[in-house]
Structure 1
Amino acid sequence: MKIVTDQNVREFLNNSLTRDSILNLYQPALLSSLIDYQNNPEIVPPRTVRSTTTKNSDLTHLFMPCVAPEATGVKFISGGPSNSKKGLGFQGFIATVDKFDGTLAGVVNAKTVTPFRTALASSIGLVKAIDPLNVPEAMTSDLTVFGVGPQAYWHVKLTLILFPNITSITVVNRSYEKAQQFAEELKKDFGVTVNAYSYQDAAHMETVNQKLSESSVVFGCLPSTSPAIEFSALNKDPKVPVFVSLIGSYKPTMRELDLSALKASGKKLVVDTAEGVAEEAGEVADAGFARSQMVELAQLSNTNRQVFTTAENIVVQKIVGMSIMDLVVAKMLIGSTGTTFDGF
């Protein structure tokens, strides 16, 4: 039985992630699990959400099981307002069992796995929209990310590995101070040009929208209740590829981008799970997307690009996440890093 700490996870990923490993190891493993889910959605049972019964605690607990052919186990995470104030966010683990005898195979700290697997899912749509092995000449060298947490960090990290031609990043957040701090972190880790702005500062928004119009890659990692990203500001030159991935809104009351223009275009929204997106994403419900107007990541390899690409060469994706994504990444980590304990 393996115990994989968050430090184990970060060190292993930092040492193993390359363009080749993302494209030929991590993405295929995650995509295979999503195909399994598409073929049999029952392998991901509904998650259970319960508020704590402990006095003076404000935690919410989430239990997310998975009984996939290649990854069986559960993800358990807890979070709440007090955790957020302490900068802890959600805490938890992923436990996997042997698929034949049910013995515990390993336990993995979920802190980094969660943002990594989400960024990995985003990257599947990204490389379908813009080929990193044959980068279009018109692709810009700019990326804009809304949000400053681990999700934002791992989305930027994977994108820079896949597209070293990106040299300028724009960070947008509600808090300007946190945007500046995150910008400094990105400069230190990746050596690129980074500028920070607040979407709540009217004086900043003209520049933010200008940066959006110059970006070929845009990530929404904000748990916002009103759209902070303006669709009208995206580059409309059909020669310039634009990819937008939204992962921040995870409740029907949340929304990052008004999707009505995409709906009006008649093009499909790329999603990880149509069922999950329909239930959890506020902006999707607002725009009135039916499930038939979404294309899942598992279907992308067999779907003509024009089905989900607007006339302006814009692709929009929405990711909400599933336990199977955590389990498949956890299984890979258990097989590669951590500490073995005998006689559990």
Structure 2
Amino acid sequence: MPSRASAVGGTACKIVSVPRSSADTDGLPATTFVLDEQSGKVVGVVNAAELTGVRTAAGSAVASRMLLEKGEERTKLVVFGAGVQAFWHTHLHLLLFPSLSTVSFLARPSSSPSDRLLSLIAKLQPLHPNVTFEHSSREGFDRGQAVHNADIIICCTPSQIPLFPPTQPRSGTHIVLIGSYKPFMLEVAPEMLSNRAGVVFVDGIEETKAEAGELQGYEGEVCEVGSVLGEENEGEEGRARWEKAGGELTIFKSVGLAVQDVSITRLVFDKAKELGLGVETEY
């Protein structure tokens, strides 16, 4: 995934390995190479596994802030997933929306809760001591009711079947979809987008239409977040566009952009050099 972001003076290329088996729980191994702007030589090698989670969650958080009506308290967050993306999406949304008081982690319908899910909660609890964390393995837990009551739903899984029925979320719910990156993958039913979204907001129109299973055959309105997000209006135009379309749900779909990788990698690389971190070697 090569990219250049002139605004941050960076050129980089990220290499990602995709596990061949669904039983692999180590996530997506990734490394980003930072290139010198003048010579093109490699000047830095950065582990991108954690940074990919940060940059994706940051993009989702920007979209959530843009689309959710200001002044309205939200208390319930539902998250599908238990990996790096689930951690960073949960952490950043809890920071961004301090009214959130309950987080429910739901395992995919085809899987069972694992130690990863419990480890995730143990990692988040000290960071947000006033938040109640629960998961779908708890006796008597009602998955359908949790989805229906949610103010925000975040889906971070490589699912190939919808995670919940299209009518289950109540009107006004904000949904973030970041798990699918192949046309055969999808986390929600495409008809939910057609019937309830009004307009689907994405990080990149060409990329999501080519890669996201939810958008295969979708003929409704698609809006790129960057086209309606400005420093002064904080995305008010995006919210207004959704209201004009008459949607019930606000939906943001992300497949990740290479420009995000070069931006965050350059930021970390420059900061590491400033602080004298990392290992420098002759090459």
Equivalent in the alignment of 2:101: 167
| TM-score, normalised by the number of residues in structure 2 | 0.83
Q: Could you tell me which of 143, 156, 161 is aligned with 2:90?
A: 156
Unaligned runs of 5+ in 2: 231-236
Shift of 1:332: 0.5
Shift of 1:189: 4.0
Write out aligned runs for 1:69-80 (5 A): 69=6, 70-80=9-19
- Structure 2 distance, partners of 1:154, 1:339, is 23
Unaligned runs of 5+ in 1: 1-63
Conserved 8 A contact 1:146-1:173: yes
- Structure 2 distance, partners of 1:164, 1:71, is 34
State percent identity of aligned pairs.
Answer: 26
Equivalent in the alignment of 1:264: 195
Q: Could you tell me which of 294, 298, 311 is aligned with 2:222?
A: 294
- Would the alpha carbon gap of residues 260 and 85 (structure 1) be closer, same or farther in structure 2, given more than 3 Å must change? closer
Equivalent in the alignment of 1:283: 214
Aligned residues: 264
Shift of 1:216: 1.6
Write out aligned runs for 1:1-344 (5 A): 64-69=1-6, 70-81=9-20, 85=23, 87-130=25-68, 134-136=70-72, 139-174=73-108, 175-178=111-114, 179-191=117-129, 192-197=131-136, 207-236=142-171, 241-265=172-196, 267-286=198-217, 288-289=218-219, 293-301=221-229, 303-309=237-243, 311=246, 314-337=249-272, 338-339=277-278, 341=280, 343-344=282-283
- Structure 2 distance, partners of 1:75, 1:285, is 26
Higher helix proportion (structure 1 or 2): 1
Shift of 1:102: 2.3
SS in 2 for 1:116: helix
- Structure 2 distance, partners of 1:304, 1:150, is 28
Moved over 4 A (4+): 309-313
| TM-score, normalised by the number of residues in structure 1 | 0.70
- String of CA shifts for 1:158-200, please: whole Å, max 9, x gaps: 11111121110010113333244533443344222111116xx
SS in 2 for 1:176: coil
- Would the alpha carbon gap of residues 332 and 255 (structure 1) be closer, same or farther in structure 2, given more than 3 Å must change? same
- Structure 1 distance, partners of 2:177, 2:154, is 6
Root-mean-square deviation (Å): 2.5
